[in-house]
Amino acid sequence: MAREPMDVWLYGTHIATVTEASRQRVSLRWTEQALERWGHGANVLSAKLDIGTTPPDVTVRAYIDGLLPEGSARVNQAMSVGVAPDDTYALIGALGRDTPGAAIFVRAGAGDPTRAGHYEPLTDDEVGERLRRADEYAPAQPGVVHESSTLPGMVPKITLHRERGSWQACKDGAPSTWILKRGGQLTEIGGDIIDTEVACLALARAVELTTVDAEVVTYGEVRGIAVSRYDRNGQLGREHQEDLAQAIGLNTSDPNRKFQWGSAMPSLRDAANVLRDGGANQDPLLRLVTFSLLIGNTDLHAKNISYLRHADGSVELSPAYDVAMHLHHRPDDRRNALDINGKFLIDALTIDDVVAEGMSWGLPAVRARRVVADTVEAVRAALAGIDRSTHPNVSAEAWAVVDRRVQEATDRLPVSTAATKNRAHPRERLAGGRRGPKRPKST
Ligand SMILES: Nc1ncnc2c1ncn2[C@@H]1O[C@H](COP(=O)(O)OP(=O)(O)OP(=O)(O)O)[C@@H](O)[C@H]1O
Ligand SMILES: [Mg+2]
């Protein structure tokens, strides 16, 4: 028996209705309001979902699967809400009130959910307990979901709101404004990943590649990283985003598909084309690739690159997120998630490959070189300026790897006259695009 249709709301408009044609097939129909507000062919929801056309069911499913957790995180979430893990339709029905970006899924006819929901204070013990149990499933009470929220990714995580420094639970569709990911113990290999992520986000902020605030949180023996959401703002508001996998219609219910490793897709060229097709500047993507290679973040895969899709139809690369230092503890896996200039073995990649990659997107050589050189210089300055004592669990070895990589890049790519002449305004240079990334107003 077909299940109830669902309405999708975006920026205060009922943009589409999704229905289940049969099990595993999800169809999407645009509303008149969507056509009136954004017009035929607009891509405000997704690059792959043109308003006014009938998208193939597999494309709709790939988009929705892309909002849901991956791997065992998906299985656990599914069990907690009492549905089968492969039941995309039921999962988004249960979890889709708070999604990555601004799309809200509600029962058809339920009305505008944009301002719905409320927040309830949590004690530190309660937050610690939620984080500790983030990869467990709770016994389901079928049909009862008070906290409906979904994010992709493999790492156990919870979503919360923060007000004046206190954590709050997001009830009945209130948007979360922070993400807490559970970290490992420092004695484990890779247990410092949350610590290096906080440091890398601080560097990314210094070079204006992100607006995300991040800190390590500790509740008893549980450690985690808290990051502010760049797709939220203080007045229950949401900015829409989609990731590269969604933007190219790649279904990542097999999480390995986020990586390229020599195959045709996903690729950085695809990522650059999404910006070009949206009329946006590609420079910020080249800066992100440069930054990622310098810090030794090998995990820049198709779900770690995202785009903001604003209500006015404009597109830009999102602020950087999920960036960390990997090379000091991964002697066994030296693969970069996406190929750069046709290479993915990290030890074969140099900064010249990043310039060549940018040129392959159609950027003129001088510009590609200038963007990369400016970013290397900005990262070098940020590294010199960062107070390393505020990141006590980032080892000297981890910093040394980054220092060495930045030095090698600087030596290979001396800041040329071309790089210092005719520079754009610093904000445009580093944040890029028609507008800079927005800073969330939540506290
Ligand atoms: N600061 C942020 N603001 C808004 N959305 C974010 C932010 N950080 C992450 N996201 C969204 O949440 C998703 C999961 O976050 P993240 O990538 O940090 O998790 P992860 O589990 O570490 O991922 P991975 O599977 O790559 O290890 C991202 O793909 C992105 O869509
Ligand atoms: Mg990620």
Mean pLDDT of the chain: 91
pLDDT digits (tens, 9 = 90+) for 225-240: 999 999 998 666 999 9
pLDDT for 254: 87
pLDDT for 291: 98
406: left (phi over 0), alpha (psi -120 to 50) or beta: alpha
Cβ(316) to ligand 1 under 6 A? no
The number of the ligand 1 atom at minimal distance from the alpha carbon of 440 is: 3
Mutate to test the pocket of ligand 1, among 241, 322, 438 (most ligand atoms within 8 A of CB): 322
What does the alpha-carbon distance between residue 177 and residue 166 come to, in Å, rounded to a whole number?
12
Mutate to test the pocket of ligand 1, among 77, 180, 304, 318 (most ligand atoms within 8 A of CB): 304
Cβ(229) to ligand 1 under 6 A? yes
What tokens appear for 282 in the block?
């590609």
What does the alpha-carbon distance between residue 382 and residue 397 come to, in Å, rounded to a whole number?
18
Note the ligand closest to the C-alpha atom of 318. Answer: 1
What does the alpha-carbon distance between residue 275 and residue 281 come to, in Å, rounded to a whole number?
6
Is the pLDDT confidence value at 140 over 70? no
Atom 18 of ligand 1, residue of closest alpha carbon: 322
pLDDT digits (tens, 9 = 90+) for 92-134: 999 999 999 999 999 999 999 999 999 999 999 999 999 999 9
Map out the domains of the chain as residue ranges. 6-107, 118-137+144-228, 241-431
pLDDT for 421: 47
Cβ(243) to ligand 1 under 6 A? yes
What does the alpha-carbon distance between residue 151 and residue 158 come to, in Å, rounded to a whole number?
9
Is the pLDDT confidence value at 216 over 80? yes
pLDDT digits (tens, 9 = 90+) for 385-434: 999 999 999 999 999 999 999 999 999 987 654 444 444 444 443 334 44
Note the ligand closest to the C-alpha atom of 438. Answer: 1
* Ligand 2 ion: nearby residues, β-carbon < 5 Å: 153, 304, 322
pLDDT for 428: 40
pLDDT digits (tens, 9 = 90+) for 298-335: 999 999 999 999 999 999 999 999 999 999 986 667 99
Atom 4 of ligand 1, residue of closest alpha carbon: 229
pLDDT digits (tens, 9 = 90+) for 8-61: 999 999 999 999 988 879 999 999 999 999 999 999 999 999 999 999 999 999
Atom 20 of ligand 1, residue of closest alpha carbon: 153
Mutate to test the pocket of ligand 1, among 46, 63, 179 (most ligand atoms within 8 A of CB): 179
pLDDT digits (tens, 9 = 90+) for 254-295: 889 999 998 999 999 999 999 999 999 999 999 999 999 999
pLDDT for 413: 86
Is the pLDDT confidence value at 438 over 70? no
Place of tokens 């309830």: 120
Is this model's pTM higher than 0.85 or not?
yes
Class of domain 241-431: mainly alpha
How many A from CA of 152 to the centre of ligand 1? Answer: 7
pLDDT for 236: 64
The number of the ligand 1 atom at minimal distance from the alpha carbon of 157 is: 21
Query: 330 or 196: whose pLDDT is higher?
Result: 196
Pairing status of strand 306-309 against strand 240-243: antiparallel
Query: 433 or 370: whose pLDDT is higher?
Result: 370
Atom 11 of ligand 1, residue of closest alpha carbon: 100
How sure is the predictor about 80, in pLDDT bands with cuts at 50, 70 and 90?
confident
